[in-house]
Amino acid sequence: MSRLPALPLLTTRLPRLITLCLALGLAFVAGPVHALSRIKDLAAVEGVRANQILGYGIVVGLNGTGDTLNNAPFTRQSLTAMLERLGVNTRGANMRTANVAAVMVTANLPPFATQGTRLDVTVSALGDAKSLQGGTLLATPLLGADGEVYAVSQGPVAIAGFSAEGEASKITRGVPTVGRIANGGLVEREIDFALNKLKTLRLSLRNPDLTTARRMAAAINDFLGGDAAEPTDPSTVVLQIPQRFQGNMIRMLTDIEQLRIEPDQLARIVIDERSGIIVMGKDVRVSTVAVAQGNLTVTITEQPQVSQPNPLSRGQTVVTPRSNVKVDTEGGNKLALVRESVTLAELVDGLNALGIGPRDLISILQAIKTAGALQAEIEVM
């Protein structure tokens, strides 16, 4: 009697074999992984923004490190006005206190901040105060650009720096004339903005770009269905609120801001000549160009010789100058050829092979741009 083949073993191994084949197929089909970013990180929603507020105030309680009233008339006037409001008349008096300093108080009013919300404020000396350490800011109204009071700040000032001084030496670490008051501001007026009642919404791109704006609008339209989003310029995408989201803007925005797209960017080289920092984008390309780098270095070394007469003689001591001049043209640096359409990594490797520093690299990049062989925008900070 013949035996049947072992089908159960084949049946057991078949799913594993199919899974392995599918995994290998996906590995060959899959393209390069692109860096996708959320719309939340690429654009800001119209109206959802902070507002800057500031005020003028007085810090008291300084240990002799405040303003000199003779050199800071605004501090004297502020101190006199404050005391008069408290019922103390100091007009014509000779005040010589050094425990008071005039300061500017700044803060950011968050979007949709309600009355009673606490703010962090920054306090900066306005006069010739040496330090704000140990001082207390008196009640200071904080005004917006329209001149209205939106918050009031008060509290002890905390500084990160310090200053110590003696008769012959002085040491200062950090900036002792700038401090911060955590939760030192209190919101008194709200900014009216009815986000939930808008019929049209604008998304403002943080890095304006036509391609990025179009991709953002396409992703929103695929999610909402229809043509609700339309890019109007490189930095703005206008969104018509669909009927089903009327009165429920927050639910729509929380879904849209999580959509991911691939942002596009210009081929750009950013140069900071003061520090020698160079940042190049991944899309920078160079046409075929020959680059040579070499500096003429002249080194002069002085080794004077002293000639002295014999003892008890009438001669004089004579100093004979001896100069050694050396000229280095760096003849080892040869002409290097940069091939067409090289990538950023190849460009950096080729320029590093020349043995040049950041300063010379800046000049070379600017020269390649002048020659018309650099397909990128150079921005000098």
Domain boundaries, given as residue ranges, for the chain: 51-187, 195-259, 269-296+328-380
Q: Which helix (H) or strand (E) holds 279?
A: strand 277-280
- Distance in angstroms (rounded) separating the CA atoms of residues 225 and 219: 10
**Residues 11-14: contacts with CB under 8 Å, at least 24 apart:** none
* Distance, C-alpha 293 to centroid of its chain: 33
- Distance in angstroms (rounded) separating the CA atoms of residues 280 and 260: 25
- Distance in angstroms (rounded) separating the CA atoms of residues 305 and 317: 11
**Predicted structure pTM score:** 0.66
Q: What is the fold, at CATH topology level, of the domain defined by 195-259?
A: Alpha-Beta Plaits (3.30.70)
- Distance in angstroms (rounded) separating the CA atoms of residues 151 and 206: 28
- By three-state DSSP, how is residue 217 classified? helix
Tell me what pLDDT residue 338 has. Answer: 58
196 near 250, Cβ under 8 Å? yes
Tell me what pLDDT residue 103 has. Answer: 96
Tell me what pLDDT residue 340 has. Answer: 59
120 near 183, Cβ under 8 Å? yes
User: Left, alpha or beta for 108 (phi > 0: left; psi -120 to 50: alpha)?
Assistant: beta
Q: What is the DSSP string of 227-252?
A: S-EEEEETTEEEEEPPGGGTT-HHHH
Q: What sign results for the dihedral spanned by CA atoms 122, 127, 131, 135?
A: negative
Q: Which helix (H) or strand (E) holds 59?
A: strand 51-60
User: Left, alpha or beta for 120 (phi > 0: left; psi -120 to 50: alpha)?
Assistant: beta
Mean pLDDT by 10 residues, the chain (381 residues): 43 45 41 72 88 95 90 88 87 83 95 92 93 93 94 93 68 84 94 85 92 94 90 93 84 91 86 80 76 56 70 73 59 57 64 69 80 82 77
- Distance in angstroms (rounded) separating the CA atoms of residues 249 and 228: 14
**Residues 344-353: contacts with CB under 8 Å, at least 24 apart:** 344/280, 344/281, 344/282, 344/283, 344/284, 347/280, 347/284, 347/286, 348/280, 351/291
Locate all alpha helices (DSSP H) within the chain, ordered by sequence.
Answer: 7-29, 39-42, 73-85, 210-224, 249-256, 344-353, 358-370
